[in-house]
Each structure stands twice: as C-alpha cells, then as structure tokens.
C-alpha cells in the first residue's frame, strides 16, 4: 500500500520503518526486511522498479554511506541492505532494554562495517525478528531468508585468517550465532552448544586482558537462553507482560522473569499429562476419537519441542554470567529443573526410557548434581533465593529416586541422598515435609488426574528432629502425623484410608499391566501395602512409599539389577524385561491353516508376564508359497480373524506379539506341493538333501510374485493386530537360500556377488517396510547354521553386508541365531564362532536379539558383560514351551520345568502344548492382585 504525501510532509525516519522515495515523495509500508524495494511489483516510476543498480545504490549511499559501502562490496543484494536497516532502526531498540542499548545499538553497529560475518549475522537476526513479530503466529515461521544470511556469516568466518589479534569480533560472532540458533529452534541446539563452548574458551583466553567490549559481550552471553525449568510446590503468578508477549525475548530481564515463565509452562505440562492419562483410561473402555488423540499428540510434541528449544538456557547462563554465589546456585538449580521436566513429561506420557535418553537424562550428571546440592546444603549459612532452595530440590530428587524409569539414575540419586558421611540432616522432618508435598503432587497428576491444588498450605508445626530408622517407623510416624493434619491435607483422604475402597478405573487397568512387578514382590516377602504399590493403594500409602530409607528399601530399587530384567523399547513396544519368546513351530493350526482356540490359550499363557514380547510361530504368507501342513497362514479372512483374537488376548495381558513371515522354498514338503499342483521352488536347482526333490529355479516373475506376497502378508498381519512382522531370513529357508552361495548359483541380478545374493531378502524387507513402516519390520538371520544343507565356508562378509544394509533401512530390530543351534536342536555348527561380528556391524543404537540355547545365567552374562553396551534382548525357545511364566521364574530364580521334545510337533494335540502349569509363586501373586482389586 502507498500513501501520497505533500511536499511539506517531512520524510519518516528509519525508526518508523517507512522508506521514502525522493522523487515521487511517497512512502511505502512494505519496507520489512523481506521487501525487495518494489522490484517485483511492476512499478515503473523513478526510484522503483527498473532503476538500474548503479542509480539505486547511489540513492542508498546518500542516506547511509558508511555501512552501505561495506555491504555493497561484500553482500551486493537489497535484501541484506534492508535487513540491516531494519535491525538498525527497530531490532536494536527492541531486542534489549535501556541498559543494553550501548551493546545492540552502539557496539554491534560500530563493529558491523569492519566484518562481513557480523553484518550477515545481524541481518539474519533482523529477518527472524521481523518474522516473529508478525500478527500471524505461525508455528513454523518462514526463516529461509534468515538461514541464507546465517550461512553467509558462517562462510565469512571460514575466510578469517588463522591467527587474529581481535578479541572482540570472535566473541561477538559467537554471541550472534547463539542468538540465531536460539531463534531457529531445537534442530540447531548442538550448534548453539558448540558456539557457547567456543565463547567460553575465548573468554578464558582473554581472562587477563579484558576490555569494556568483551565484558559487555560476556554479560549478554550469560542469560541468552534463560527460559524454562522444573516446578516446586508454590504457585507463582506469571506477570502479565510476559504472557502477552508475541515473541520470546532473546533474554529475560531477571531470574525472576525466567522462573515465572517456567512455572507457567510446567503447569501447562501437568494439565497435558492429566488429559493424556484421562484419554488412555477412556480408551480402555470406549473408543477415543482420532481428532482427540491427534490433538493431544500435537500438544505434547509442541510442548516437548518448546522445552527442547531451551535445552542449554541455564548452561549458557552459568557459563558466562558474573553472578554471585547465590544467583549461581539458583541458576544451576533451574538448569536441573529443565532436565527433570523433560524426563517427567516423557515418562508420564510416553512411558519410554528411550525418549528420556534422547532428551538428555541418559547419564547420571543431573541426578548427581541435584542430590549433591541436597546433602551439602547448609541451611544456617545460606541466605536463600526468592524461593526456598530445599523445597525446590528435595521433591524432584526424591521423584528421581522413587519414580525414574532408569534404574541407574534412580540408584545414584538414592545413594547420594542417604550418604550419612556428608550430612546428618538428610532425614529431618523438613525433608519429609517437602517430600510428602512433592509426592502428593506427582500422584495427583499421574494416577488420579485431579487438578493440582493452587493454594495448599504446607504444614508448619513439626517436631524439631525425627530420625526415621526403619520403614515401619516411617509409616507409623507419617501416617499418624498426616492423620492429625487432615484439614491441611484434605486431598489425601479423597479415596479413603483402606485398600478395600474402590480404586479409580485407571488404577484398576494399570494394576493388571503391572502384575509382573507385584507378583515378584510376593516372592520376595514384601508387606501387603508394598504388593499393591503404586496403583492399588490409597494416597497416604503411596506418598509414604517415597519416604524410604536406603537400607530398608527393596533391592528391586537399589541393587545392581541385571539388564535382563530392565526395560527396553523395541520398535514402539515397551518391554519390561529383555526375554523374548522365539518363533516356535508347533503344528497346532487347522487343516485350512486357520489358528485354533488352543493356540489362543497357548499364546495368552505366555503373555501373562506384562511387558513381554512374543514372536509368533512361522506363518505362511500365501497359498502359492505353502510348504508345510498345520502351520497357520495369514492370507485369508478367516486366518486374519483368528489371529486377531490371539493378538487381542496377548495385548490384554499387557504384552506384545510380532508375526514371523515364513516361506520354506526348497525345504517345502514335496507331497503337499504335489497335491496342490505346485513345483518346489528355489533360487537354484540344488536339493536340500540327497533324498529331497530338486527344486525348480525361480523365474523373475515368480520372484516378484513372492515379494508381493510378503508385502500383502505384512499388511494382513497389522490388520490382525500384530505389533510388527519378522521376516524369517535364516534357518535355510527362502531368503537364506538366496543369500548363501551354497544354494544360490544364479548368474542374473539375483545371484553371484554378495550384493546380488542379498538382493532378494533386502527387497522383501523394503516391500514390507513400504507397506507397514520400517520400524514394524524385523529380520532373523542364522550365519552359522548348517540346517537343511546350509553353511557357507566364510559367512562373515556376506552377513556383515546384509546386516549393514538392514541397519540403513532402519528396521525395528535384528534377530540373530548363534552357531550352537541347528533347527530346534543344540549343535556345534560354527566351532568357536559366534554372531558377535553381526552384532558389531548392527551397532549400539537399535535393538538386537540373540537366540542360542540360553538359560537364566548365560542370558544375564550376555546382556551384562558380553554385549553390555548394546540394546540386547535374549530369545528363549524350547524352555518357553514348558514354562508359560518363564520371565517370572528366571527373575525369581525358580527352577524351570523340563520341556518334552516328543510333543513339539504333534498336530492339533493339546498335550505338551497349553497344559503346562504356572509356578505356585506366580499364581499366588495373581491372587493377591485380584484380592486387592
């Protein structure tokens, strides 16, 4: 839009953000940094449009000669000129307050003409700031022009000489880059952290040669990210001016401002947790709309993204600030709050320790720092900040100790909290008070979904000192103490004071899913109140469960638990232990390949320990690939419906099940293939044994048909309720036959080189991944097996290649069979060889499974020692046929029942199939849970 002015009207200043045309005496309100000075509007007037570049630059130079001469030489584009103008006239007055005007409006502008990197950087900030201040609050602003300027700044820095005498310019560029990366968001966090570290090194190098310029830059590097953290017990009113801001400032004016926004964001997070929990509870009994679920997921992602965007806020503050000891402790406390908030949200909503790892609480540093603050804090000598230091720290640290899903962090936090050598005040009543307050708040959000109380008063009257000597004394004291304070803690009595009271619907649902932990408790002799913790008992008991002495807490929390019994995320399945049921062929399907009721009972029994992953028996993918009788299929509606009943029953137990897709190839039953009028097919005409018919070499068309059958079978498996599919790529079956040179002598693109021989199994994986997603696909391999005529002279190069290719496809997991297994028998197929080469080729970032005649002891050694740095799970086969509660038995060290090999392959017989007994200890634990409900 243009507005015509009279000659007497004075020209507007740059601060008004209207560029004048000297010839027509008009002004334009399109003069934002993205404006191209009307070049693209089609105007033909003097001063716009077709004016040659020399004239245009001359007009500009008259207005701002110094900076333009530099920009004209180094940048040469109107966008950069205009962005710098916008910075000089607007951003420099807005990005800081009055105190900062000497920095943004003087020092930065004074240094800009001397260096292209500085000019490009402030142009990028200007472009992003203008985009953020638009009336439309887009979630994804258009930062493309700013990124171009940012890249130019980086290139300019790379052109600097290796040695420079300037101390100010590098430090200023670090600051400007941090500002840019802050505004770009969480994807640039690593770059921001790198520049923060570089700035710290620069400051360290000039420590004895400070100048006014370096000092003011240091002061600005400190609070550049100050934003969010965790929450305490008090409610803080968020200042109106902070809530009404349309864009986040590059810094907060004070720690108080940062703390206010922190509380505001955390309360949003707690509300979101409540809504997600309510939605899940509702979903167990009635259908949740896709819109509702999508909205919650979007809000969750947006909140975690916002938290992640400020990941290094407090690290920057501590790195560059020149605060006194008090404010430094406060800032460090807020740093820990931020990390705790991330892990709290992820644990409550996703339940995934993998997510927590990704967000930065995978090591012990945060828990260590938090707990060290508690044990070293001297109440008499410290003038506390505006909020009570102890009340802010104790609750979150105890939350880590009692609630964290990562045992290493949990044990570390508890160990530091209870170190008597460092302090005698760890178990004072003041500590208990704040612990109870924090535990109450966590419980309200996590399990009952009650709205957080905004005005609950802390209890003020306690004895001076009380040593909690044992768990029993802790319960006795705290219960009587809370009973005397009912009026001040009314929420603790909402559900009554006895276990017999009817718990909430969510508590009942969750208790069923947690029966593994509860069942183990009975075997360990836990008192009854512990057996139904934390979902089936009243609030008083659950609050008290947080206040536990180290030497009386159960070793399920504190001892060095084997990783075999620790959680593991596998492609969206959150396993509560690392024992996986192998695919076991049992011949119990109908003659039409439909799963039977007996199979449903069999799988349901073996899913009874919640959080268990089952891999189904090999399942035939289509009629034309049939190779064996009474083995289930996955191609017909009847088969899909029968499998759906099985998967639903497994999921109802809180466990997971994947479908193994099986094509026998040359190992097919010749009688069955003959009855069906089908040839036995393989990659090459090489028989599996002297008494087995010679297979016919598959044509190109037949290969493509089988790949398509795999794709359809994967889709059917997901429709049947499976959590994913595993391709049987080992055992001497069709994919394995293509892969190994002993069975593949082809000379076309499907044989010969390693790459060609691996083509068929990889194409199968790609087809199924395209249909259902790569994370829902897995592959089983047996490098050393000589079953049914397999066994390469040197399998390592071939299998290393295919493992690396599978990893690049981002499949859900890799399943490897050790050399000591031949089919369903123990054997010595590989001598001293093992699958470690394949595990190393796969890497440490994704789950890998190994099977091979493991027992409880050897499985623990594998996960804790041999492959301790890998996300390893152990696959058990034959032992699971006779021990439906196998994970419970191994954890509780209950002897395993001996399997009956004679019943492995008896078609449609229940003997030795679904008639194996659960251990008495497991049955007793289930009875306890039902009684508690």
Residues marked as catalytic: 733
Q: Please tell me the predicted confidence (pLDDT) of residue 292.
A: 66
Q: Please tell me the predicted confidence (pLDDT) of residue 239.
A: 53
Dist. CA 913–CA 700, nearest whole Å: 41
Residue matched to tokens 């508590």: 507
At 561-593, the pLDDT tens digits run: 688 988 888 988 888 899 999 999 999 999 999
Contact 213, 236 (CB under 8 A): no
Q: Please tell me the predicted confidence (pLDDT) of residue 562.
A: 82
At 62-98, the pLDDT tens digits run: 233 233 333 333 333 455 666 666 666 656 655 544 4
Q: Please tell me the predicted confidence (pLDDT) of residue 116.
A: 82
* Residue 501 Rama label (left phi>0; alpha psi -120 to 50; beta): beta
569 is written with which tokens?
A: 């995320």
User: Residue 410: how many CB atoms within 10 A of its CB?
Assistant: 19
Phi, psi of 660 (to 5 degrees): -85, 125
Secondary structure string (H, E, C) spanning 362-373 = CCCHHHHHHHHH
Q: Please tell me the predicted confidence (pLDDT) of residue 717.
A: 95
User: Residue 830: how many CB atoms within 10 A of its CB?
Assistant: 18
Q: Please tell me the predicted confidence (pLDDT) of residue 446.
A: 33
Dist. CA 547–CA 474, nearest whole Å: 7
Contact 793, 782 (CB under 8 A): no
Dist. CA 656–CA 725, nearest whole Å: 12
- Give the three-state DSSP class for 851: strand
886 is written with which tokens?
A: 């196998």
Dist. CA 830–CA 624, nearest whole Å: 34
Q: Please tell me the predicted confidence (pLDDT) of residue 569.
A: 86
**What is the sign of the dihedral through the CA atoms of 74, 185, 181 and 123?**
positive
Dist. CA 687–CA 716, nearest whole Å: 32
Contact 599, 589 (CB under 8 A): yes
The domain ranges of the chain are 1-48, 64-221, 564-932
Whole-number average pLDDT of the chain:
65
For residue 850, give the nearest of 862, 837, 865, 868 by alpha carbon.
862
Contact 646, 599 (CB under 8 A): yes
Secondary structure string (H, E, C) spanning 157-216 = HHCCCCCCCCCHHHHHHHHHHHHHHHHHCHHHHHHHHHHHHHHHHHHHHCCCCCCHHHHH
* Residue 607 to residues 532, 778, 882, 883, 887, Cα–Cα distance (Å): 21, 20, 14, 11, 10
CATH number of 564-932: 3.20.20.70
| Cβ-based neighbours of 61, under 8 Å, separated by 6 or more | 68, 69, 72
What are the contacts of 289-297 at 24+ separation with CB within 8 A? 296/272
Q: Please tell me the predicted confidence (pLDDT) of residue 150.
A: 82
Q: How big, in percent rounded to 5, are the helix, strand and coil portions of the chain?
A: 50, 5, 40
> Which residues in the chain come in under a pLDDT of 50?
1-77, 96-99, 135-140, 222-237, 244-250, 284-285, 311-314, 323-324, 326, 343-344, 347-348, 350-413, 415-523, 525-560, 822-823, 827-831, 928-933
């Amino acid at each position: 839009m243009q507005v015509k002015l009279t000659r007497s009207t004075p020209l507007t200043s740059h601060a008004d953000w209207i560029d004048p045309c000297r010839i027509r005496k008009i002004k334009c309100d399109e003069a934002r940094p993205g404006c191209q000075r009307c070049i693209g509007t089609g105007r033909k007037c003097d001063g716009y449009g077709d004016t040659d570049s020399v004239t245009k630059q001359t007009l500009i130079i008259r207005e701002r000669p110094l900076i333009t001469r530099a920009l004209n030489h180094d940048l040469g584009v109107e966008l950069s000129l205009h962005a710098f103008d916008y910075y000089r006239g607007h951003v420099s007055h807005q990005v800081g307050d009055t105190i900062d005007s000497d920095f943004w409006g003087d020092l930065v502008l004074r240094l800009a003409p001397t260096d292209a990197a500085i000019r490009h950087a402030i142009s990028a900030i200007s472009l992003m700031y203008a985009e953020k201040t638009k009336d439309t609050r887009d979630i994804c602003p258009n930062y493309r022009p700013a990124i171009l300027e940012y890249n130019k700044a980086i290139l300019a820095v790379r052109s600097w000489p290796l040695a420079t005498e300037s101390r100010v310019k590098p430090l200023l560029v670090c600051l400007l880059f941090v500002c840019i990366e802050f505004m770009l968001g969480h994807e640039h966090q690593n770059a921001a952290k790198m520049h923060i570290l570089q700035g710290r090194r620069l400051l360290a190098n000039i420590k004895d040669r400070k100048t006014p310029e370096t000092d003011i830059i240091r002061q600005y590097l400190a609070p550049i990210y100050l934003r969010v953290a965790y929450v305490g017990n008090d409610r803080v009113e968020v200042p109106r001016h902070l809530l009404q801001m349309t864009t986040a400032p590059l810094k907060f004016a004070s720690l108080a401002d940062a703390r206010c926004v922190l509380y505001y964001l955390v309360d949003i997070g707690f509300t979101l947790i409540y809504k997600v929990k309510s939605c899940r509870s509702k979903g167990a009994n009635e259908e949740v709309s896709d819109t509702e679920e999508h909205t919650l997921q979007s809000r969750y992602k947006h909140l975690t993204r916002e938290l992640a965007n400020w990941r290094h806020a407090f690290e920057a503050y501590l790195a560059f600030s020149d605060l006194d000891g008090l404010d430094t402790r406060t800032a460090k406390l807020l740093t820990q709050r931020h990390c705790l908030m991330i892990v709290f949200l992820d644990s409550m909503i996703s339940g995934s320790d993998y997510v927590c790892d990704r967000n930065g609480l995978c090591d012990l540093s945060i828990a260590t720092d938090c707990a060290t603050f508690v044990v070293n804090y001297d109440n008499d000598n410290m003038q506390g900040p505006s909020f009570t230091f102890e009340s802010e720290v104790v609750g979150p640290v105890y939350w880590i100790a009692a609630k964290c899903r990562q045992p290493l962090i949990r044990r570390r936090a508890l160990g530091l909290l209870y170190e008597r050598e460092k302090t005698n005040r760890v178990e004072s009543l003041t500590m208990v008070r704040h612990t109870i307050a924090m535990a109450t708040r966590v419980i309200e959000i996590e399990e009952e979904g009650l709205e957080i109380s905004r005005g609950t008063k802390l209890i003020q009257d306690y004895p001076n000192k009380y040593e909690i000597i044992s768990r029993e004394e802790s319960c006795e004291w705290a219960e009587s103490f809370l009973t005397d304070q009912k009026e001040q803690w009314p929420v603790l009595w909402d559900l009554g004071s006895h276990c017999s009271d009817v718990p909430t619907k969510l508590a009942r649902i969750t208790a069923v899913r947690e029966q593994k932990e509860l069942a183990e408790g009975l075997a360990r002799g836990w008192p009854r109140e512990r057996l139904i913790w934390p979902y089936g008992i009243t609030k008083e008991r659950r609050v008290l469960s947080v206040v536990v002495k180290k030497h009386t807490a159960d070793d399920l929390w504190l001892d060095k638990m084997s990783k075999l019994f620790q959680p593991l995320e596998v492609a969206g399945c959150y396993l509560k232990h690392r024992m996986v049921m192998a695919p076991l062929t049992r011949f119990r399907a109908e003659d039409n390949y439909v799963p039977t009721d007996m199979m449903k009972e069999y799988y349901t029994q073996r899913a009874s320990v919640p959080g268990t992953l089952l891999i189904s028996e090999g399942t035939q993918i289509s009629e034309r690939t049939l190779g064996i009788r009474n083995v289930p299929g996955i191609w017909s509606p009847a088969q899909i419906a029968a499998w759906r009943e099985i998967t639903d029953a497994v999921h109802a137990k809180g466990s997971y099940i994947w479908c193994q897709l099986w094509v026998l190839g040359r190992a097919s039953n010749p009688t069955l293939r003959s009855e069906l009028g089908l040839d036995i097919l393989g990659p090459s005409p090489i028989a599996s044994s002297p008494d087995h018919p010679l297979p016919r070499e598959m044509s190109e068309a037949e290969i493509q048909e089988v790949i398509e059958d795999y794709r359809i079978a994967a889709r059917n498996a997901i429709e049947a309720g499976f959590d994913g599919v595993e391709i049987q790529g080992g055992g001497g079956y069709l994919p394995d036959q293509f892969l190994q040179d002993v069975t593949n002598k082809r000379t076309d693109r499907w044989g010969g080189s390693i790459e060609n021989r691996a083509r068929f199994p990889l194409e199968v994986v790609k087809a199924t991944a395209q249909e259902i997603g790569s994370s829902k696909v897995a592959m089983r391999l047996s490098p050393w097996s000589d079953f049914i005529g397999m066994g390469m002279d040197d399998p390592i190069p071939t299998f290393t290649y295919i493992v690396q290719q599978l990893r690049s496809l981002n499949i859900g997991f890799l399943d490897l069979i050790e050399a000591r297994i031949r089919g369903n028998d123990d054997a010595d197929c590989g001598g001293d060889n093992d699958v470690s080469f394949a595990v190393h080729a796969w890497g440490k970032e994704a789950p890998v499974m190994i099977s091979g005649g493991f027992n409880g002891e050897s499985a623990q050694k594998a996960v804790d020692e041999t492959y301790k740095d890998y996300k390893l799970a152990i696959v058990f086969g034959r032992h699971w046929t006779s021990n439906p509660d196998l994970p419970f038995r191994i954890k509780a060290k209950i002897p395993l029942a001996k399997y009956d090999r004679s019943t492995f392959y008896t078609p449609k017989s229940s003997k030795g199939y679904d008639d194996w007994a659960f251990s008495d200890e497991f049955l007793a634990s289930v009875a306890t849970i039902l009684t508690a409900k």
